[in-house]
Amino acid sequence: MTTNDFSWLDAVLLAVSVSMAFVMLRRRVRDAVFWRATVTPLASIIGSGFLVVVPLLATVTGSFSLVAILAVVLLSLWIGDALRYTMVHGDPVPAVPGSRSARLDRLSDVTLAFAYVISITFYIRLMGGFVLTGVGAYSPFNANVLATAVLGFIGVYGWRRGLHGLERLEEYSVTIKLAIIASLLVGLVVHDSRLGYDLSGLVAPPAGLWEALRQLAGMLLIVQGFETSKYLASTYDAPTRARSMVFAQVLAGVIYVVFVALSMPLMAQFAGKEPSETAIIDLSRDITVLLPLMLVVAAAMSQFSAAIADTIGAGGVAETESRGRVSARMSYLVIASLAIALIWTSNIFEVVALASRAFAGYYLLQAITAAALASRVATGRRRTWLLASYGALAVVMLLILVFAVPVAG
């Protein structure tokens, strides 16, 4: 059976994307404060992780992929709970300058800023390579030039238009991305219903349980990005940031879980192979003719919106740590300049491993900070529960920091 048998499906999927984009771009939606606060964490969570989650899980967990992605999503929600606690309860009870809590906050913020600069560089470099490969013009030099141009545009645009200007760019790119993802999910539903939900070709991975857990721990970063909400304090109050973070995490988590569940009958073709950012395109060729072209656009939008989200987050970190002496607008230029320097002076695909550990270290420090804050502001049984929860989370994050390994094909 070929995609030509389903030519009618191309029209259906295009209609789904256009309809969803039309709804999301209505003024009532795009100008809603809650949605604007949601776009930044959502853009970062559904970034490059969406491109590689299926081949990664096929290699690491095989027939247990649905359980694995559920575990990753639930762990991210647990981490998000710790960050939200520090947002909601930390603002009215600030840490004393020079205290242990203040030093933890500063260390975690510096760690995050370091990771953001690398991730921004990686996203845009990946986008440049992806786009140039699609048009047959790829070379490392061309990809670096295109990435430099895009990073320069983000820096200057952010400097001129500020946070809301970058958020508007995010909204359009996230809208396109979500609209195409919706089409992909519909296409997978049709594909699975036509061919049957057959998992016979998908088996448990050959690696032992411990090795699989270490590799799965390294996949936590596919749902990284929700922490950007913490650094939007100059525009949104703590309750809005906390609610929008939850919504972004839940929406992205549902998308990941549904996508993995629907993709499992197609996973066998990726098992044992080196994970590739173009794997989602290869998967879509089994569904329709038009969908691969749509997903090229979605993939580019994923990298672009994730880079903008992390630029906003890094700008928020700079503004927070400088206590307003360095504006977010000015920091966008600095962040873009640092990313451009990385493009031309390093192998970003090697140093991104450092960013992965930096994010894990940041989450560890945030769990410790949340536990310290709970010991100061909570009472009774709630205090005991929070200390146990955030203490256990800190232990889990320390284990991930020490033992997590990248997935190898």
For residue 102, what pLDDT is reported?
66
For residue 1, what pLDDT is reported?
42
Show Cβ contacts of residue 311 under 8 Å, excluding neighbours closer than 6 positions: 116, 120, 154, 155, 158, 166, 332, 335, 336
Hey, is 137 helix, strand or coil?
Answer: coil
Residue 373 lies in a domain: yes
Residue with tokens 């536990």: 371
For residue 349, what pLDDT is reported?
64
How many domains does the chain contain in total? 1
SS (H, E, C) 260-318: HHHHHHHHHHHCCCCCCCCHHHHHHCCCCCCHHHHHHHHHHHHHHHHHHHHHHHHHHHH
For residue 89, what pLDDT is reported?
86
Both tokens of 369, joined, read 């900070």
Q: What is the pLDDT of residues 100-157, one digit of tens each?
A: 666 777 788 888 888 888 889 888 888 887 788 777 788 889 989 999 999 999 999 9
d(CA 340, CA 380): 51
d(CA 190, CA 37): 34
For residue 272, what pLDDT is reported?
67
Q: What's the CATH code of the domain at 284?
A: 1.20.1740.10
For residue 8, what pLDDT is reported?
81
d(CA 44, CA 212): 25
Residue 408 lies in a domain: no
Average pLDDT, the chain: 85
Residue 409 lies in a domain: no
Positions of the chain with pLDDT under 70 = 1-6, 91-102, 206-207, 272-278, 348-350, 353, 406-409
Residue 115 lies in a domain: yes
Please answer whether residues 328 and 319 qualify as being in contact, where contact means their C-beta atoms are separated by less than 8 angstroms. Answer: yes
Residue 350 lies in a domain: yes
Q: How far is CA 91 from CA 2, 43, 243, 367, 378, in A?
A: 57, 25, 16, 16, 15
d(CA 88, CA 302): 29
Residue 207 lies in a domain: yes
Residue 289 lies in a domain: yes
Residue range(s) defining the domain that contains residue 367: 3-403
